[in-house]
Structure 1
Amino acid sequence: MNPPTATSVLLLLIVLLPLAGAVFMSAAVADGPPAVYLVFVDPTPPGVTCMQFHLGILTVALGSEEKAKEAMIYNYKNVVNGFSARVTPSQLDAIKKQPQVNRVLPSVTLHLMSSKFNGVS
């Protein structure tokens, strides 16, 4: 058997690389598209800012602070303690497993059916 030539190796790579890319893309698509969720957490520990606490939870779940900062949309600290983040279903599962997380709800926008109530608009 003859050793492969540079041309045959190049042709093999040209054929296989698109297939490998398709496999990685299908794995990403299988995870599902990202969506926005509201994450309610335990009270912030003393000496830690609300943002640090929320980023810490997301960092552990997503694997890096950079990913956590990209995912976070807003943090809530006055009425409830929590944050909103855009995450994929697998990332959402990792967030739900954090011991500080109490509840996770999908973010929804509600619209009024009418702007009039008893003749008042």
Structure 2
Amino acid sequence: MKPPTAASVHLLIVLLPLAGAVAMAAAATDGPPATYLVFVDPTPPGVTCMTYHLGILSAALGSEEKAKAAIIYNYKNVINGFSARVTPSELEAIKKQPQVNRVLPSATLHLMSSNFDGVS
């Protein structure tokens, strides 16, 4: 291997701060938090729904405090899951959890009409 030349050392000195700035900009532009619906596997026997959902979210976000701050609602009757307000990078970490089946953005839908075959 050849020793570095003055030009390659100069290039390295110029590019290293630029690489750090790019990494900081990427972290800063993670994006604003949004609300998502997270559908998960059935809750194991003997574990409460809230504990199970907080465990999944804590594993993804890195702490129980962050999970408690992010979670909005727990669903347990028709589906098993929760809604949470998270950033795009946190969303990617949630999607990687083995118990997570599907993640959808939360949306409010409005009826175009309330008149269905004469029933309102």
TM-score normalised per structure 1: 0.75
In structure 2, the residue matched to 1:100 is 99
Unaligned 5+ segments in structure 1 are 1-22
Mapped to 2, the partners of 1:88 and 1:27 lie a distance apart of 13
Unaligned 5+ segments in structure 2 are 1-21
1:31 is paired with a residue whose SS is coil
In structure 1, the residue matched to 2:54 is 55
* TM-fit CA distance, 1:26: 5.1
Mapped to 2, the partners of 1:68 and 1:27 lie a distance apart of 23
Letter in 2 for 1:49: T
TM-score normalised per structure 2: 0.75
% identity of equivalent residues: 84
| 1:112 and 2:111 are equivalent in the alignment | yes
Mapped to 1, the partners of 2:25 and 2:111 lie a distance apart of 39
What does the per-residue CA deviation read over 1:78-107, in whole Å, with 9 as the maximum and x for residues that have no partner?
A: 111100000000000000000000000111
Letter in 2 for 1:65: E
Moved more, 70-79 or 109-118: 109-118
RMSD: 2.0
1:2-21 matches, cutoff 5 A: none
Mapped to 1, the partners of 2:119 and 2:25 lie a distance apart of 53
In structure 2, the residue matched to 1:13 is none
* Count of aligned pairs: 100
